[in-house]
Amino acid sequence: MATTSSTPLLKDELDIVIPTIRNLDFLEMWRPFFQPYHLIIVQDGDPAKAIKVPEGFNYELYNRNDVNRILGPKASCISFKDSACRCFGYMVAKDPSGKDINALEQHIKNLLSPSTPFFFNTLYDPYRDGADFVRGYPFSLREGAPTAVSHGLWLNIPDYDAPTQLVKPLERNNRYVDAVLTIPKGTLFPMCGMNLAFDRELIGPAMYFGLMGDGQPIGRYDDMWAGWCTKVITDHLSLGIKTGLPYIWHSKASNPFVNLKKEYNGIFWQEELIPFFQSVALPKEATTVQKCYLELAKQVKAKLGKVDGYFLKLADAMVTWIEAWDELNPPKGAITIAKGPAPKSK
């Protein structure tokens, strides 16, 4: 539990990305926490529809027309009519106890403190106040590793797949566990993109949410795909991922029958995908996130292409994503040319 800081952490260095198909009235609930920061809103669906944003927020609003204008032919790697569109916001972000829970502040604290991926500490996160390394923890590993991702959890309606939703329609998660853990090296996890923060400099190019939604044979696996790719790469680059706090309250359950249509192929394919990611080996020459991701794309094409032709297309989109990322995020000192007018902003 934490209250709002008088001086917001990372005030000029943090962007909040929000994908949406509707008005953002819910921002009023988050105003005390979000208002000091810059918002990047990615509007999915009909670009002609006007999205209303409450007054007083500093934001940029991008719709599909903006995506097409900025990326040109490379816009094909950004999903349409699916929450996976959020990764466009990651690409264009710039460096620049009864009390209310400040989820944003907790994410920032997670990212600014090290992780412990190489040796499990049984007393949770040793860098939190009131905790430390337990007896037997190697002193040579106590400096930890840089934290690339902070993965928060949900209270109330759980993040279940469609079959589990159907058999447990009334189940709710009421257990608040005041803990943060590092996910051990070599262990995959199901990443949810609804309560997520990451260090863009450390892992940004890996946060691609794949080809999902409109025109694709799969949906609701966008964050899962990004999580599996990210975990393999953070393991290879000796970075950490934390999970646990902060919690957010999830109050709107999605339709399990609609979800089942979206997830149907993924439920079968994941039995092939998990062993693939568990066995992926990246070469020592892959020393950057981009190099790791391009190597991963090669292996996806070679090994998962046999599962379904969709993965051949996805592998090509992964390469396009990296090309687009590098085009919009050139090395410091490089000259860039703007394409068209700036997006709508406040």
207 pLDDT higher than 90:
yes
Cα distance from N-terminal residue to C-terminal residue, the chain:
31
Among residues of the chain, what percentage have pLDDT more than 90?
80
Q: How far apart (Å, rounded) are the C-alpha atoms in residues 94 and 14?
A: 9
Most confidently predicted of 45-54, 100-109, 302-311 = 302-311
Mean pLDDT of the region 190-210: 96
Return the HEC string of 46-58. Answer: CCCCCCCCCCCCE
Among residues of the chain, what percentage have pLDDT more than 70?
92
pLDDT, residue 340, reads 40
Q: How far apart (Å, rounded) are the C-alpha atoms in residues 38 and 16?
A: 6
| pTM of the model as a whole | 0.86
pLDDT, residue 12, reads 83
CB atoms within 10 A of CB 109: 22
99 pLDDT higher than 70:
no
Tokens describing residue 191: 């990443």
Point out the least confidently predicted range of 21-25, 94-98, 117-121, 210-214.
Answer: 94-98
Tokens describing residue 286: 């892959």
Contacts of 211 (CB under 8 A, 6+ apart): 77, 79, 84, 310, 313, 314, 317
pLDDT, residue 210, reads 96
Contacts of 250 (CB under 8 A, 6+ apart): 154, 155, 156, 157, 158, 159, 194
Q: How far apart (Å, rounded) are the C-alpha atoms in residues 328 and 138?
A: 42
Tokens describing residue 31: 């105003």
Q: How far apart (Å, rounded) are the C-alpha atoms in residues 117 and 127?
A: 13
Q: Is 211 exposed, middle or buried (0-12, 13-18, 19+ CB in 10 A)?
A: buried
Q: How far apart (Å, rounded) are the C-alpha atoms in residues 273 and 333?
A: 39
Q: How far apart (Å, rounded) are the C-alpha atoms in residues 142 and 132?
A: 10
Q: Is 248 exposed, middle or buried (0-12, 13-18, 19+ CB in 10 A)?
A: middle
341 pLDDT higher than 80:
no
Element (H, E) at 310: helix 310-328
pLDDT in tens, 217-261: 999 999 999 999 999 999 999 999 999 999 988 877 889 999 999
